Amino acid sequence: MPSPARHHRAPLLWLLLPFLGGLVGAWHWSLPAAGAGPLVAAAGALALAAGFLARGRSRLALAAWGGGLACSAGLTGFAYLHLRHPRLHEGDLRPPRDATLVVEVRQRFAVRPGARSLAGTGVVVAAGRAHPDLVGQRIAFSALRRGGVVPARSGRYVMRGVAEPLARGADRTGFDDYLASLGVRQRLTRARVVREVAPPAAWARLSEQVAGHCARILQRGLEHRPAAASVYRAMLLGERAELTPEQERAFMRSGTFHVFSISGLHVGVIALALQQLFRLLRVPPRRAVAGCLLLLGGYVHLTGASPPAVRALLMVAFLLAARAFRLPGNALAALAASALACLLLDPLQLFGAGFQMSYAVVTALIVMGAPLAERWNLAWQPYGWLPRPDWRWRHHLVDWTRRRLLAGLAAGGAAFLASTPPGIGNFGLLSPGSLLANLCIVPLSSLAIIAGLLSLFAGLAGAEALSTVFNAAAGLLIVTMDAALRAYAEWPGVCFDVRARAAWLPEAALALLLATMLAGRGLGWTRRGGGFWPPVAVVVLLVALGTTRP
């Protein structure tokens, strides 16, 4: 009997999908006049009714049970977003005004070395009598370095500047959309950090010191190659501000800028490397999982605990925990559990480009990329006529290359389809060349990440010479990637600047795309359901009919 884990069963999707629908509804519509209470009561009543109907055996009872459960989850999502962010639809028409605020810093954005200003987000904990409405709100700040205190990643600071509402509608930029997905409704511009009220916690100060030490470890042996060193630190520590404009352009237009976001690629590669290390050391499985998650959590916190890194950590935690405790888990179930956990922590993540792209791409890899690779492998077997015991080394080499190539093409194609709608909607870019670029860059960047991990282990253990060797190997990979991508990004047809005809089109296309992928996986990607062509058709229609050239 085949293992249930091979069939990608994810019952949590029956709760997650209507919950997502409720969040989307709350994003567009405000609460009714009666408030959230009646909605919560209705959701509870529907959940109880669904539980009662679940005991029935008839088709009508099963349909009513499923419908009641979905409606309950949708109402819960609608009420939950409004309860977590009660000022979601409150407009602020007041003009910019001077303000002195006490801000608890939650995030500090990376800036280029020598930059005149710094930026980040925080929560207003005190605002005086002039601005009581700002207390408790999350705010973005931009402060001058000169003549003020430089805030750390956390702590409380007195800031003086100009408070103004975030732009709305057509005036909103892509960065404003990112801030809105963090719950930011106000910004403090032309600010100066007057003084520190409460210093960062001891753990935060230690993390910043360790991050600085790790940056110095990764710098060893690459002092004469500053461009490679900047890419190296950006890949391992997420310090994207050190990239040059030429590097940013090359990686962005080739569709490979994700290698600088501490996310699924980094966390997944490091998790696999740690699992192999614990396996070589013969550590018991549950202790290996605990040690792996502990080290991954430390790495995520060290790099700033960005939302993509936390999302990837949660997914790996669910997947490894299911395997360690021998539960019938699989990648899709772990993905659904991590998505629900992330949205319970902060439901506004759903409307950020990072959340949409990361979960869309991983979903596509699981439900479409893997089956497509399997289908291609079955269709093309150059030595199928020859019994495997009679194979020689060249047969094994060709077969290994064939399987890896087909798996890479299938994964790259699925990821390209999933990333195209949010790429058009959030960045105005269509990157057909990303398929070939990622096919080459992802393996090279994975090797560079592993080399960087080994370098950090060696450097923290005091083996500076060994750390330098690993840095040199990673530097060679990065120089190759950097030079190749700079040339490749200028090829005609690699990337196009496009614009959606309507703001809602990319989001609708992404929802339809994921629906066709899940439906195709449920039908086994058979000809009856159109095979693998419906997702391709969705993207082609979006590009052909829903976009224009600026």
User: What confidence tens digit (pLDDT) does each residue in 344-356 have?
Assistant: 988 988 888 788 8
Question: What is the distance, to the nearest Å, from the Cα of residue 413 to the centroid of all Cα atoms in its chain?
Answer: 19
Instruction: Identify the pLDDT of residue 110.
Output: 67
**At residue 525, does pLDDT exceed 50?**
yes
Of 179-193, 339-353, 464-478, the least confident: 179-193
Model pLDDT, residue 466: 92
pLDDT at 147: 66
How does residue 7 score in pLDDT terms, banded at 50, 70 and 90? low
Task: Determine the pLDDT at residue 74.
Answer: 93
In this prediction, residue 2 carries a pLDDT of 39
In the chain, what are the helix, strand and coil shares in percent, each to the nearest 5? 65, 10, 25
Closest CA to 237 of 303, 306, 314: 303
Name, of 2-6, 25-29, 64-68, the range with top average pLDDT.
25-29
Structure tokens at 94: 């007041």
pLDDT top residue among 136 and 247: 136
**The length of the chain, given as a count of residues:** 550
Task: Collect all residues with Cβ–Cβ distance below 8 Å to 130 and sequence separation of at least 6.
Answer: 99
Predicted TM-score of the model (pTM):
0.84
Collect all residues with Cβ–Cβ distance below 8 Å to 33 and sequence separation of at least 6.
none
Q: At how many degrees (to 10) do helices 353-364 and 393-427 cross?
A: 150
Range 427-446 average pLDDT: 86
- Look at 204 and 351; give whichever has higher pLDDT: 351
416-434 tens-digit pLDDT: 999 999 889 888 888 888 8
Read off φ and ψ for residue 325, nearest 5 degrees: -95, 10
> Domains along the chain?
9-84 (no CATH), 97-200 (2.40.50), 369-430+498-550 (no CATH)
Phi, psi of 103 (to 5 degrees): -115, 130
Highest mean pLDDT among 29-43, 86-100, 228-242, 296-310: 29-43
pLDDT grade for 6, boundaries at 50, 70 and 90:
very low
Structure tokens at 163: 């408070």
pLDDT tens for each residue of 343-390: 998 898 888 878 888 889 889 999 999 999 999 998 888 888 888 888
Sign of dihedral through CA atoms 74, 78, 79, 81? positive
The encoded tokens of residue 400 equal 């290994």
The tally of CA atoms less than 13 A away on the side-chain side of residue 253 is 21
User: Is 537 or 58 the better-scoring residue by pLDDT?
Assistant: 537
Q: What is the pLDDT of residue 92?
A: 63
Q: How would residue 166 be classed by pLDDT, with cut points 50, 70 and 90?
A: confident
Helix (H, G, I), strand (E, B) or coil at 179: helix
**Partners of residue 159 on adjacent β-strands:** 101, 193
Q: Is the separation of the CB atoms in 108 and 151 below 8 Å? A: yes
Q: Say if residue 394's pLDDT is above 80.
A: yes
The pair of three-digit structure tokens given for residue 431, joined into one six-digit string: 């990157």
Mean pLDDT of the chain: 84
What are the C-alpha distances in Å from 17 to residues 23, 197, 511? 10, 43, 11
Q: Is 467 helix (H, G, I), strand (E, B) or coil?
A: helix
Count CB-CB contacts under 10 A for residue 403: 14
User: From CA 46, how far away is CA 187, in angstroms rounded?
Assistant: 41
Cα 434 from Cα 55, distance rounded (Å): 50
